[in-house]
Structure 1
Amino acid sequence: MEPALFTEAATLIAKTAENDGGFHPPSILEFFPPVVLFEGTPFALTRITLIQIFATVALILIFWLGTRRMKLVPGRFQSIVEMGLDFVRNGIAHDLLGRKDGNRFLPILTTIFFMILFMNLTGIVPGLQVAGTAIIAVPLLLAIISYVTFIYAGLKKSPKKFLRNSFAPSGIPVFLVWFVAILEFISTFLIRPVTLTLRLLMNMMVGHLMLVLFFSATWFFFFTAGGLWSLLGAGTLAFGFAFTVFEILVAVLQAYIFAILTAVYIQLAIAEEH
C-alpha cells in the first residue's frame, strides 16, 4: 500500500474522531470506569468490579457443579473439572514441590491459577470484553498472597536459615555481605512481587486495547468510511479474530506463569539449603 494511502487513512480517521463519526480508539480511561452501583458508599461497584464478581461466581459455580456428586466413572463435565485440577496438581504442585509439599500448597496454587484464568478469559467474552485482571487490584493482591506464602513457607521450614540465605547466600566474601544483602532484599522482597504484578497486569491491559482497536477500526471502515475502505475493515476484522484466539492463549499462559512462579518461590524457600 502506498504511503499516501496510509496518510489519507490517518487523516480520515482523525477527522471522524473529531466529529464523533464512529471511530473511537482505545483509551487508558477504559480501565477507570465510572461507578454503576452504590456510588458514594464503600461498596461502590464499577463495570470491571462487576466483571470480577461475575468471574468469581462462575468459577465457584463450575467447581461446585463439577464436584458435588463425584462418581467413580466420571461424566463429561466432571472429567473436565478433574482434568483442570490434575493439571495444577501434577503439572505445577507435585512437579516442583514434590507430593508432600505439593499437597500442602495445592489449595493456594489451584486458587491462584483458576482465579487468574477465569478473570483473564472475561476479556474475550462478548458483553464483558475486559479482563478482571486488567486493573492493578487483582494482580497486586495475588502477588501479595504469593509472597506471604513464600515467606511463610521459608520461616516455617527453618527461620534462621531462610533469613540468612535470603540476605547473604553462602560463599559471599565477608566484606561484600552488606552489599549483597541489600541487593538480595531488593531483588527477592521488592522486585519479584512487582514483576509478578506488572507481568499479569500489562498483558491483560495491552490485550484489551488491541482488541478494542481492531474491532473499533472494523466498525469504522465498514459503517462510516464505506467504499473501498471496507477492504481495510475486512483486514482489521481478520486481525481481530486472530488476536482473540491469541488472547485465549495469553489468558491461559499468564495464569500458568503466575502459578508456577509462586510454586518456584515456595520451592526456593523450603529447599534444603534454607
Structure 2
Amino acid sequence: MSHTGLVLAAEGFHAPGPVDFFLPDFTGSSWNEHGYQVLLTKASLLLVLGAVVAYLFLAITSRRSAVVPTKSQYLGEQAYNFVRNGIAQDIIGSKEYRRYVPLLVSLFFFVMVNNLFGVVPLLTFSPFSRVSFAYGLAALVWLIYNGVGVMHKGFFGYLKHTTVPSGVPLWILPLLIPLEFLSNIMIRPITLSLRLFANMFAGHLLLILFSTGGAYLLIHATGSPVLKPAGVLAFALGVAIGFLEIVVALLQAYVFTLLTAQYISGALASEH
C-alpha cells in the first residue's frame, strides 16, 4: 500500500490490548507479558479508594435522619431502599432478607463506585476490568452463600439440596447430580466474575481505542482527506461510549448484587 504515497493511519499506531490494563506501580515499574509482582499497584489502590468512597457516601447520607430529608439524605435513602426493597426483599423474601441487607447494600455500592471509576477524569480505570479482582469478589460471594446454606441445612443437607433435584426419577440422578454440582458449586463463581469483568474490560478497551485512535488520526495521520474527519468521529464515538459505560457500570453493579441475592435465596430455599 505504500506505493500510493499515502501515510496510512495504522502505521505507527499501536492498538490497545490487555497489556494496557496492567498499570505501573508507584516505583514506575510496569507490568508486561511476563508479569511484575508488587504489593500495591494503582489498580489495587483504586479498589481501596472505591471501598472508602462507598463507605463515606453511605455514612454521610445516613448521618442525619431528619423528618424533612436533605438532598443528600434523600439520595442515600432512595439508593438504600432500591437495594433493600428491590433486591433483598423481592429476591430473598420478607422473612429472611433483613440480615442480608447490609451485605447487599455494601456490594452494590462497592461494585458501582469501582465501575464508575472508569469514566472519572484522571482515574479512568475500573479495577474490575482486571479479572483477578472480579474473581476475588466472586469468591467472597461464593463463601457467603454456601456458608449460609451449610448453617441452615448442615453440610450434607446443603450438599443434597444443591445437587439432588426433587421430583425427578431415580434412574436419572447419576447424570443430574454431577451436572448440578458443577453448575451450582463450581460454575457459579466463574460466571459471576466473568460477567462483571468482561463488561468492564470491553468498555474500557473501547474507550482506549477511540480516544487514542482519534488522537492519532487528528495529530499524526496524513495523506487522505478523510482521516481528520474520522478522528473527530472517533472522539465523538468515544464520548458516546463513555455515557454508555455509565449505564453499564450501574447495570453490572445491579446484576452482581441481584445474582448474589438469588444465590442466597437458593441456599435458604426449602426445596431445590
TM-score (norm 1): 0.87
Stretch deviating more after TM superposition (83-92 or 225-234): 225-234
1:177 corresponds to 2:173: yes
Stretch deviating more after TM superposition (132-141 or 192-201): 132-141
Q: Residues 149, 161 of structure 1: CA spacing in aligned structure 2 closer, same or farther, 3 A cutoff? A: same
1:187 corresponds to 2:194: no
Following TM superposition, by how much is the alpha carbon of 1:228 offset from its aligned partner in structure 2, in angstroms? Answer: 4.1
Alignment of 1:30-109 (within 5 A): 30-36=20-26, 44-109=39-104
- 1:79-129 per-residue CA deviation (whole Å, 9 max, x = no partner) reads 111111111001100111123311111111111111110000000111111
Q: Residues 175, 8 of structure 1: CA spacing in aligned structure 2 closer, same or farther, 3 A cutoff? A: farther
Alignment of 1:1-274 (within 5 A): 12-17=8-13, 24-36=14-26, 44-159=39-154, 160-225=156-221, 228-273=226-271
Structure 1 spans left out of the alignment, 5+ residues: 18-23
Identity percentage of aligned residues? 35
Following TM superposition, by how much is the alpha carbon of 1:63 offset from its aligned partner in structure 2, in angstroms? Answer: 1.8
Following TM superposition, by how much is the alpha carbon of 1:168 offset from its aligned partner in structure 2, in angstroms? Answer: 1.4
Does the 8 A contact of 2:9 with 2:217 survive in 1? no
Question: What secondary structure, in the 3-state scheme, does the structure 2 residue paired with 1:45 have?
Answer: coil
Q: Residues 205, 8 of structure 1: CA spacing in aligned structure 2 closer, same or farther, 3 A cutoff? A: farther
As a proportion of its length, which structure holds more helix?
1
Does the 8 A contact of 1:112 with 1:142 survive in 2? no
* Cα distance in 2 for residues equivalent to 1:155 and 1:71: 41
RMSD: 2.3
* Cα distance in 2 for residues equivalent to 1:69 and 1:170: 49
- 1:186-226 per-residue CA deviation (whole Å, 9 max, x = no partner) reads 11111111000111011111111000001111111222226
- 1:140-178 per-residue CA deviation (whole Å, 9 max, x = no partner) reads 122112222221222222235432121211233333323
Following TM superposition, by how much is the alpha carbon of 1:47 offset from its aligned partner in structure 2, in angstroms? Answer: 1.9
* Cα distance in 2 for residues equivalent to 1:272 and 1:125: 44
Does the 8 A contact of 2:25 with 2:38 survive in 1? no
- 1:56-88 per-residue CA deviation (whole Å, 9 max, x = no partner) reads 222222222212222221100111111111110
| Residue type of the alignment partner of 1:25 | A
Structure 2 spans left out of the alignment, 5+ residues: 30-36
* Cα distance in 2 for residues equivalent to 1:38 and 1:31: 15
TM-score (norm 2): 0.88
Following TM superposition, by how much is the alpha carbon of 1:33 offset from its aligned partner in structure 2, in angstroms? Answer: 2.3
| Residue type of the alignment partner of 2:190 | V
Does the 8 A contact of 1:150 with 1:266 survive in 2? yes
Following TM superposition, by how much is the alpha carbon of 1:38 offset from its aligned partner in structure 2, in angstroms? Answer: 10
Corresponding pairs, count: 260
Question: What secondary structure, in the 3-state scheme, does the structure 1 residue paired with 2:165 have?
Answer: coil
Does the 8 A contact of 1:161 with 1:273 survive in 2? no
Stretch deviating more after TM superposition (126-135 or 62-71): 62-71
| Residue type of the alignment partner of 1:170 | S
| Residue type of the alignment partner of 1:82 | E
